[in-house]
Structure 1
């Protein structure tokens, strides 16, 4: 998984896998879901990201085990 922020276009992308995109749907205003040829999610794009994300230069993650 990759997370990229394009400052010029103010777009945050969360890329789950590197495959060709077949279709894209705007699932909410400024939130685009891209799907591969297998119908599974490939990436999420957040447009106008700085209005949603508090700090585009900082990323915190954690893994939690299922109980």
Structure 2
């Protein structure tokens, strides 16, 4: 995945894969979705990004391991993972930094 932001045009692009675009849909006046020949999402383009995204120049990226094992030795459940994602961003950062 690749993310680019152009402050001059105020356009944010999120590329999910590098495939030729076969179909383009305007989901909203400010969102454009590009698809490949198999219907897979190739790119999301957000126009006027500074009005739609809190800070288009900042990216945070998390990878959640499919079967993380906490110190107690039992796998983390899906509901525990969802609960973690519902925590405020600063709390999640604190927890991840402690790990």
TM-score (norm: length of structure 1): 0.87
Higher strand share: 1
Q: Which has the larger radius of gyration?
A: 2
Count of matched residue positions in the alignment of Structure 1 and Structure 2: 67
How big is the alpha-carbon RMSD for the aligned residues of Structure 1 and Structure 2?
Answer: 1.3
Structure 1: 4+ residue segments shifted above 6 A: none
Could you list the runs of 5+ residues in structure 1 that have no partner in the other structure?
none
Match of residue 35 from structure 2: 35
Higher helix share: 2
Larger relative CO (CA 8 A, sep 6+): 1 or 2? 1
TM-score (norm: length of structure 2): 0.62
